[in-house]
Structure 1
Amino acid sequence: MFVRTLYATGDPANIDTAIDGLSTEGHELLGQQPGFRGFGIFVDRELGKLLAVTWWESEEARSNSDEALRERRTALLERFAATTAIDNYEAAVFHSVRQPEAGAGLRVTRVEFDPSDADLFAETFRASVIPRLETLPGLARASLLIDRDRGRGLVGAVFTDRESLDASRAGQAAARHEGAAKAHVTVTGLEEFEVVLADVRGD
């Protein structure tokens, strides 16, 4: 699958307007696009951060949807977003244990790597990191999104509730350290979000 992420920041007092618009009208519009495979909305209400993730069955479907939805997406975010950043990724690994629900927690690890190590990174994540994550109570889903050309990626780990997310920090830190060393990856950021919506039809 292929992924587009939208990262927006703004006044925390206005974040609910963006959540409401994206989860209703935005979700409906996405569902009308050919090749649509899923949608996620993740927020940090205290700092005013919103991460929206759309999943597509092909690069072409992702590109076509962006052209079709760009203006409406901007309008839905207008009252909240002071800054926006859009990135495209390949979903190198998508591992689902159970369906997360609203109120679950997401931890995002931002990484950089040599583009020539993209396949090594994906294989290391699949063979070494996923088994470590599966030992953590409450794991719902783990994914690795990569941009092969730029040598950038996101690791997402969703846990069933906030308590499980909090309790997993040490365990995931150990898995992150081991995986980064094996795959020659540099960690450049670490964030946590509340799950508002996480609806993906995996392979």
Structure 2
Amino acid sequence: MITLHALKYSRATRVLWLLADLGQPCNRIDYDRTESFRAPEALQRVHPLGKSPVIEDDSEKIAESATILRYLAHKYGDDSHTPPRGTAEFWQHEALLDYVESSLAGVALQAILPAFAGEPVPQEARGALDRHLNYIAQAIGDGPLFFGARAMLADIQLSYLIAFLARLDLLADHPRIAAYWDALQQQPGYIAATQTAGPMAPPT
């Protein structure tokens, strides 16, 4: 059985979502955040950078959400969370899956961190975020999710950042992204993951 090291209010919920979709249990080890909302020192004994999520599968220890999602889909022979291989949509999906942390996360955090601290979001940060949210809105196409009504790995990967943006009211000028977030929250795997581990973003 997979062991999941799960920090509260973290990207680990993505992994729980996929496992719920796949009908696979896990041994979940939970870690509370510190008063400053940081990961506890205990996670450094799991990963040198104190990361979460981290999964252990026999002798394998794997970090990075996108890699974990791909690993689990491969391990359990799942092809329902990606478009068919060899299609243009498959490669669009792969780009979106990697885009979330490689391109979007740094931009989103420039808006999330001040908003989370109750401070005004700098105009430059808001403008950069708006450009990315407009890009995502185009990628959604006819929706409601990236490739129709069923969540793909890229949707699961994106959900964490969108949860924080919604929590901090940073989607007010982006109704298509707000509708996308509403659709994500109706996915069975999201519901199962948040029922067992709590919300992705801390409550108000």
TM-score (norm 1): 0.33
TM-score (norm 2): 0.33
* Structure having the larger proportion of residues in helix: 2
* Structure having the larger proportion of residues in strand: 1
